[in-house]
Chains A and B, each alone.
Chain A
C-alpha cells in the first residue's frame, strides 16, 4: 500500500481543466519524481496535496485513511511539508527563526505564557537538524537574506525535514541553483529519503530526475500517463512520455 494515494483528482480554473482525474502515489522512503510539460498540472496537483488549493473531485488517502486538506495547516498536521519554489523564507530572520517560524518553543511557566521563547532549545534543536542533514548552513545568527542561494535552500529543506514525518514536496528545488548547489540539494533529498520520508520531486531536469528518483510519474493534460521505474529508464523515454510521443508510436 502506498503511503499516499490520490485517485481521480479534478481541478478546473474557469474553462481550463488543470487536472482531469489525475492519479498519484507516494511511497515511504522513496523519491517519487513528478514530471510533465508546462501546463500538465504538476503544480496544481502539488498544491492540492499540500493543502494550498482544494480539489473539485477525487479522493486522497494517507496510509489508507481518507484525508481532505482544506489548508496547509491541515496537511502539516499530517506530517506533510512543502519546500516552495520561492523557498518562503523571511530574509531578515536567521535560520533558527525561519526553522521555527510559527512553531517557536516557548519558555516554561509564566514567561512562556507571556510569549517568551526558549531560544537555547530552538538553537540546540536547529544545530541538530542542520547537522543531521549535513546542511551547509554555517551561520545560525545571520539573516538568511544575506546568504547564498544554496544556503537558503538548505534552510528551507531543513525546515521541512525538521517537521515532516511522512511526506515532503520539493517544487523545482534546483531551478535557480548552480552545479554545486544542485548536487548539494540532491544530496539533501537523499538524506531525507533515507529517514523513511516519502519525497516528491517536481523537476524539469531529466538528468536530475534519473539521478535521484526511484520512480517517475508522468502527468500530461491533467492525467497520469505513465509510472516509470527510474533505474531502467532514459531521458528519451521520459521526454517521450511527457510529450505523448510514446503513445503515438504505440498506436
Chain B
C-alpha cells in the first residue's frame, strides 16, 4: 500500500467515481442475476422441447397463478431470512388465517364485497397476531427462531383444525372468487397475479429503499453492532415477524379465493417450498443478504419445472428432486461466497447462525480464546 497518510484529490475522484457505477454494480452483485439465467435456460429447454404447449399464454398464465401465493409468502420470508431468522409457521398461519377469515365471512353471509374486505382484514390481522407471537418469542424470550416457528407451525394448524373439526370450509363470497380468484386485468392478466405483484413491489420498496429495510439488513449482518449504535434490534425483529405473519394471512385470503375453500390439509410443504425458493433466489440463511426480486425468481423455478415436466411427459415428481439439488447448490454457493469474503478481508466472522441456532464456533473460538 502506498503512502496512505493523505487523501489526494485523485482518491476523492475515485470515491466519487465508484459511486457513479453503483447501479450497475448493485445489479451484478445480486446473485439473482445468475438464477435468472438458470430460469431462462430451463424455460428455453422446455420451449424447444414443446414449442406448442409451453410458451403459450395459457401456460404462462397458469405458471404465474401458481406462483402468486408463494410469492406473497416469499416477501415475508425474505425479510425474516435476511435477519438470519426462519419462519416455518407460514403454511400453518396461512391455513389458520383462511379458516378464521372464512368463518367470519360465513357468519356475515357470504356474498358481497363488504364481507370479502372484512374477511381480508381478519385474515391479515390473524396472520399478524401469529407473527407478533413469533417475533416476541424470538426477540424477547430469545428462543431460537427455528424452534419458535416449529412450535407455532404445529399450534396454528392445530387451532385451525380445532375451529373446523378438520373439515374444510366452502362458504366463500362469490365476488371474491370471481374477481380475486379468477378475474383478469385487461382481460389477460390474472388479478391474483396483479395482487401478488403489488405486494412484491411494495415489499421490495420497503426492503431496498427505506430505513426499515436498511435496518433489516443491518440486524441480519451484525445485531451486536446495531445494539451498540442504539438500533432497537428486538423491535425490528418483532416487526419483521409481523410482516411475515401478515403476508401469510394475505396469502390465506388469496388462497380461499383461488381454491374456493380452505386448504387445511394442503399446506404442510408450503413453508419448505417458500424457504427453498427464497434461498435459491440468493437470500443468505446467514443473514445480511437477499432481494425480493431474487425470491420471486427462486419461487418461479419449481413452478416452471413442474409445468414443463408435465408438458413434456416427465413424471412431475422429478420436480422435487431437481429443486432439492438447486437448494443445496444455492446454499453451497452462498457458503463459498461468504468464505471468500472473509478470507479476502481478514476479519473474524461472527458466529454462524441459522434460525437463531448456533451452527459452529467462531474463528476466535477455533483458535482458542486470547
List residues of A whose CB falls within 8 A of some B CB: 52, 72-73, 76, 82, 84, 86-93, 97, 101-104, 106, 114-117, 123, 127, 130-131, 134-143, 145-150, 152, 176, 180-181, 183-184, 187
Do B225 and A117 touch across chains, with their CB atoms under 8 A apart? no
Knowing A134-B5, A180-B1, the reply to whether A90 touches B222 (Cβ < 8 A) is yes
Q: CB distance A91 to B221 under 8 Å?
A: yes
A140 to B19, CA, bound (A): 7
Given contacts A90-B225, A137-B15, whether A101 and B210 have CB atoms under 8 Å apart is no
Interface residues of B in 186-227 (CB under 8 A from A): 206, 209-212, 214-215, 217-218, 220-222, 224-226
Pairwise interchain contact A91-B288, C-beta atoms closer than 8 A: yes
B313 within 8 A of A: no
Residue of A nearest to B5 (CB): A187
| Inter-chain contact A90/B221, CB cutoff 8 Å | yes
CA distance A247 to B69 in the complex (A): 76
Chain B, 91-123, CB within 8 A of any chain A CB: none
Asked if B7 is at the interface of the complex by the 8 Å CB criterion, the answer is yes
The reply to whether A89 and B346 form a contact with Cβ atoms under 8 Å apart is no
Q: Given A84-B228, A88-B222, A92-B221, does the pair A148, B210 have CB atoms closer than 8 Å?
A: no
> Which 6 A/B pairs are nearest by Cβ-Cβ distance?
A92-B288, A90-B221, A115-B210, A88-B225, A92-B221, A134-B7
CB-CB < 8 A to B11: which residues of A? 136, 138
Q: How close is A51's CB to chain B, nearest CB, in angstroms?
A: 10
Q: Does B357 contact A (CB under 8 A)?
A: no
Let me know if B366 is at the binding interface, CB within 8 A. no
Q: Please, which residues of chain B bring their CB within 8 A of the CB of A116?
A: 209-211
In angstroms, Cα B1 to Cα A97, docked, is 25
Distance between B318 CB and nearest chain A CB, rounded to angstroms: 36
Given A127-B12, A138-B11: A93 and B221 interface contact (C-beta under 8 Å): yes
Residues of B within 8 A of A180 (CB): 1, 4
B266 at the interface (CB under 8 A from A): no
Among B30-38, B70-78, B298-306, B337-345, the stretch in contact with A:
B337-345
Asked if B6 and A134 make an inter-chain contact with CB atoms under 8 angstroms apart, the answer reads yes
Closest residue to B290 on the A side, CB-wise? A92
**CB-defined contacts of B4 to chain A, threshold 8 Å:** 136, 150, 180-181, 183-184
Cross-chain contact A130 with B7 (CB below 8 angstroms): yes
Pairwise interchain contact A101-B7, C-beta atoms closer than 8 A:
no
| List of A residues within 8 angstroms of B231 by Cβ | 101-102
Residue of B nearest to A175 (CB): B370
Asked if residues B347 and A91 are in contact (CB atoms below 8 Å), the reply is: yes
Give CA–CA (A90, B22) in the complex, Å.
19
Cross-chain contact B345 with A141 (CB below 8 angstroms): no
Is B330 among interface residues, defined by CB-CB distance under 8 A? no
> With A115-B211, A136-B4 given, is the CB distance from A145 to B218 under 8 Å?
no
Given the interface contacts A88-B222, A136-B4, does A72 sit within 8 Å of B19 by beta carbon? no
A93 and B342 CA atoms in complex are apart in Å by 14
For B214, what are the chain A residues with a Cβ–Cβ distance below 8 Å? 93, 97, 104, 117
Contact A146 B341 (CB under 8 A): yes
A135/B19 contact (C-beta < 8 A), A76-B230, A115-B212 known: no
Q: A92-B217, A131-B12 are in contact. Are A123 and B19 (CB under 8 A)?
A: yes
Distance between Cα atoms of A168 and B26 in the complex (Å): 34
Q: In the complex, are the beta carbons of A141 and B18 less than 8 A apart?
A: yes
Nearest CB on A from B165, distance (A): 44
Q: How far is the CB of A212 from chain B (nearest CB, A)?
A: 14
B187 CB to closest chain A CB (Å) equals: 34
